[in-house]
Structures are given as C-alpha cells and as structure tokens.
Structure 1
Amino acid sequence: MKVLVMYVDEFSYTPAQKNLDSAEEITEGASFTDSVLAFIQIEKTDEDNDVKSREKKLVNHLKWTARKNNCTKIILHSFAHLSDSKASVEFTREVFDLAEKRLQNGGYTTAQTPFGYFLDLQLKASGHSLARIWATL
C-alpha cells in the first residue's frame, strides 16, 4: 500500500469522468477545510494479507498524521497512480470502508471521494513540516 498524505487548508473536488462501470452515479462535488487528505493506492500484494490488517495499518498511519497536524478531519481518496500494482476493486473498497468506520469510531470526521471517478481537484496545502508525508505501508 502506498499513501501520500497532505494537510490541506482547502480541498474540493468535482466528478469529471466515470472510469468504473459499477460505480454509482455521482454528479455533485464537495469541499473541505483544515483536513488530512490521503491519496491511497492499495496494491496487489496487500491482498496476500487479511483485509483487517491492511485497514489497521492504514488507520494507524492516518491517525498519526492527523495528530501531527492537530487535525480531526480525514479524507480518503483512491489514487491508483502511486504504483504499477493494483489490488482488486472489491478489496480496495473494503479497506476504504473499514478504515473509514474505524476512524469514525475513533472520533474523526471522515469522507471518501467518489470511487471509480476521475475528479477535478482543487487544493491549498500548507508548507510546514509534516504537512506532506509519503509512506509504504
């Protein structure tokens, strides 16, 4: 799993193009402020592990990043451009959904960008230490 996390002052998206036939129809975008934005790619090798172990590893990293940025809002964004390896859609969705639920149970406000879409993105990211963190989990 590859993760690029940014603390963003502002982030918004608008659905641009559906790229997964099974994705639900989404036409509305959303905007967020003062959030941790996680670009996440679940890799094929992640499927060799239990889905819950992958979800727990992701959540621990996101909580650590949020604490370092004094933030309680986390946005999960599937970003299949951090590696050549891609897990199945089903496995990826399950990791995302379980991670979001665990984060919410931990008191975080969460959101997921629309899965299966290319999005028009706008973001304003702070330039301080730990505002951008890349990791292989």
Structure 2
Amino acid sequence: MFDAEYFWFDTFSKTLENVEDVEKEEKIENTAVIFIHVELEDEERTSKIVKNAVKTFKWYLNKVNKEKIVLHSFAHLSSSTSSPEFAAGVISEIKEKLENKGIKVHTTPFGYFSEFSIHVRGESLAKVFKEI
C-alpha cells in the first residue's frame, strides 16, 4: 500500500484473451495505491479475504488521510496465483464494498500490463505491506 501524490497508468498490452479490449490512460492524484494479488489459497476463504481487505484498506486510508484509492492488480507479488476469473471477482467485490462505504475507487484494467508511474510520499506510513 502506498500513500501517493499521484499514480499514472497507461494500458500497454493485453495478457488475458477473455477480457474486453481496453485502452486507458489515467492520472489519479492524492490517493492511496494498493498493489493487490489474489492467491490460490484465497479461493477457499473468499468472504474472509474480502472482509479483511476492506477493513485493512479503510484503516490505511484513515492513517494517510485519503478519500480515494487505486486498486492495481499485480500478480507478481507471490508465486501462488488464483485463477484470473477468481482474482477479478475478488477485486470487483472489494471495490463494490469500498464504494458502498463512500470511498472513491479506481481500478486499473484487469488482464493488462500497464505502464505506470507513482510518486510515493516519504513518510514511514507511505509504504505499508499487509498480507491478508
């Protein structure tokens, strides 16, 4: 999790055939950025994962005084990966629950490599790792 002055991304290449074609470039300022990875083991505990992720992300937003968040699927955080369909569903569910709590949520296109740039603040809490 990162407390970012900005996060900019531009879709680069499609990595999954079954996702819709997307060309998107966006810059989100003054946001928390979450690199999120869903593991194979998570498929057996979906509701717990979603609940804990929402709780953790809300905690982080409060700590860094942010009102919006970027969820960026980053499957390179572990050697264990869930199915793409399951990961997309979990990210979508987390997004929906955060939005229901009044949080503005941006997501990068799932199933794409994206070029990105992030300006992370220097404070200790600007860079936090949590395993859920």
RMSD (CA atoms): 0.8
Aligned length: 132
Tell me the percent identity.
33
Matched, 1:40 2:36: yes
Match of 1:121 among 104, 107, 116: 116
C-alpha distance in 1 between matches for 2:50 and 2:25? 26
In 1, Cα distance between equivalents of 2:106 and 2:6: 14
Alpha-carbon shift at residue 52 of structure 1 (Å)? 2.2
Please report how far the alpha carbon of residue 129 of structure 1 lies from its aligned counterpart in structure 2 after TM superposition: 2.1
C-alpha deviations, 1:95-132, integer Å up to 9, x for none? Answer: 11111111011110001100000000011110012111
TM-score by length of 2: 0.97
Structure 1 consecutive aligned stretches of length 4 or more whose deviation exceeds 4 Å = none
CA distance in 2, matches of 1:59, 1:25: 28
| Cα distance in 2 for residues equivalent to 1:73 and 1:60 | 15
1:91 to 86, 104, 107: 86
The equivalent position to 2:13 in structure 1, one of 6, 14, 17, is: 17
Match of 1:61 in 2: 56
**Structure number with higher strand proportion:** 1
8, 22, 28: which one aligns with 2:24: 28
Deviation at 1:41, TM superposition (A): 0.7
More helix, by proportion: 2
Residue of structure 1 aligned with 2:73, choices 75, 78, 81? 78
Give per-residue Cα distances to partners, 1:20-69, cap 9 Å, x unaligned.
101111112111001010001110011121x2221111111111110000
- Unmatched 5+ stretches in structure 1: none
Q: Any conservation in 2 of the 1:52–1:95 contact (CA below 8 Å)?
A: no
